[in-house]
Amino acid sequence: MTEAERRAALDAIGAEVAACTRCRLHEARTKAVPGEGTAATEVIFVGEGPGFNEDRQGRPFVGQAGALLSELLGSVGWSREEVFITNVVKCRPPENRDPEPDEIAACGPFLTRQLVALDPALVVTLGRFSMARFNPGARIGQVHGTFRPSAPESGAPEALTYAMYHPAAALHQGSLKATLFQDMEGVPLALLEARKLRSVAPVPLGTAGLLGETAHAPAVSEAAEPFATPGPSNAAAESAGAFAESGPTDQLSLF
Ligand code: SF4
C-alpha cells in the first residue's frame, strides 16, 4: 500500500467513525476521535478513549495527558507528527469511566482497519485496556517498559507491542511520571528490534543528532522474547540476551 493509499484508508475510517452509532458511546459524544498522525509512520500509540478535551476537539491526547505524551515523545527526539495516535474506543465514555467490553468490541474493527492500513512495526500501548487488546492476560504493573509480539488477532500480527502506563495515570499518581519517561527510553530500542524482526531495511541512521553510528546501536537478541525488556538494568532481559549493552544516549529517527 502506498502512503497515499494509507492516507485515503485512514481518512475513510475517520469519516465512518465520525458518523458511527454502533455503540452507546455515540449518544453523549460531542465529536468522535478517530486518531491522527502521519500515514508514513512505523509506530502507532494506542490509548484508551477520548477524554473531555478530546471529545470537544475531535483530536486524541490534547489535554494534560496529551501534553505529557508530547513530552514523552520529545524525550526520545520524536514528535506527534511522526507517529499515529489513536484509542481503543473512539468516543468518550461518560465521566471518563472505563470503556465497557461491548463498547471495546463494537469499536474494535476501526482500530483493526487502522492497523491494517498503517501496518506498523511497533504498537505502543498506553494503559491496560490498550495492552489487553494486543497482549490479553498481561498485567501492566509487570510488563510496562517491555515488548513482545502482538497477539495474532490484534490486527497487527507482525508488529511488536510495547507496554506503557497511560499518561493520565501519572496525573493522578505523580510517581508514575518518572516511570513513564524511563519506559519511553525503551521505545526506540523496541522499534529497532521490530525492524529487525520484519527485515525492514533500516531507515538511514547517522544523520545529524540521530542514532549516530550503527556501532552505537544496542546489541539485540536474535528473536523477540515475550516481554523482552530493552532497558540495560533489567537482569532478566540481560540474561535473555536482549539489549545487553547500555541504553542509547543518541536518538533514533523515524524518518
Ligand atoms: S465508540 Fe466506536 S463503536 Fe462506539 S459509537 Fe464511537 S466510533 Fe462507534
CA distances from 13 to 16, 20, 99, 115 (A): 5, 10, 20, 11
Residue ID of nearest Cα to ligand 1 atom 6? 91
Residue ID of nearest Cα to ligand 1 atom 2? 107
CA distances from 69 to 86, 220, 234 (A): 12, 26, 24
- DSSP assignment string, 76-124: TT--GGGSEEEESSSSPPGGGPPPPHHHHHHHHHHHHHHHHHH--SEEE
- Higher-scoring residue by pLDDT: 225, 168: 168
C-alpha to C-alpha distance for 61 and 116, rounded to whole angstroms: 22
Residues 118-139: pLDDT tens digits?
999 999 999 999 999 999 999 9
pLDDT for the residue numbered 208: 27
CATH architecture of the region 3-199:
3-Layer(aba) Sandwich (3.40)
Residue ID of nearest Cα to ligand 1 atom 3? 107
What is the Å distance from ligand 1's center to 23 Cα?
Answer: 5
Instruction: Tell me which residues have their CB closer than 6 angstroms to ligand 1.
Output: 17, 20-23, 25-26, 32, 89-91, 103, 106-107
Residues 88-113: pLDDT tens digits?
999 999 999 999 999 999 999 999 99
C-alpha cell at 19: 458518523
Q: How confident is the model at residue 198 (pLDDT cuts 50, 70, 90)?
A: confident
CA distances from 253 to 103, 122, 207 (A): 36, 14, 9
C-alpha cell at 160: 511488536
E strand or H helix that includes residue 147: strand 147-149
Residues 26-61: pLDDT tens digits?
999 999 999 999 999 999 999 999 999 999 999 999
What is the Å distance from ligand 1's center to 227 Cα?
Answer: 31
Pocket test for ligand 1, best of 13, 21, 97, 102 (most atoms within 8 A of CB): 21
Residues 159-197: pLDDT tens digits?
999 999 999 999 999 999 999 999 999 999 999 999 998
CA distances from 38 to 50, 72, 79 (A): 19, 18, 11
C-alpha cell at 29: 459524544
Mean predicted confidence (pLDDT) in 145-166 = 92
Instruction: Give yes or no for residue 209 having a pLDDT over 80.
Output: no
- Are 84 and 35 within 8 A, CB to CB? yes
Q: Please give the number of the atom of ligand 1 that sits closest to the Cα of 49.
A: 1
What is the Å distance from ligand 1's center to 80 Cα?
Answer: 24
Pocket test for ligand 1, best of 89, 97, 110, 111 (most atoms within 8 A of CB): 89
What is the Å distance from ligand 1's center to 20 Cα?
Answer: 6
Helices then strands, each counted (H, E), the chain: 10, 6
What is the Å distance from ligand 1's center to 185 Cα?
Answer: 33
- Are 190 and 252 within 8 A, CB to CB? no
The proportion of the chain whose per-residue pLDDT surpasses 70, expressed as a percent, equals 78
3 state SS of 197: helix
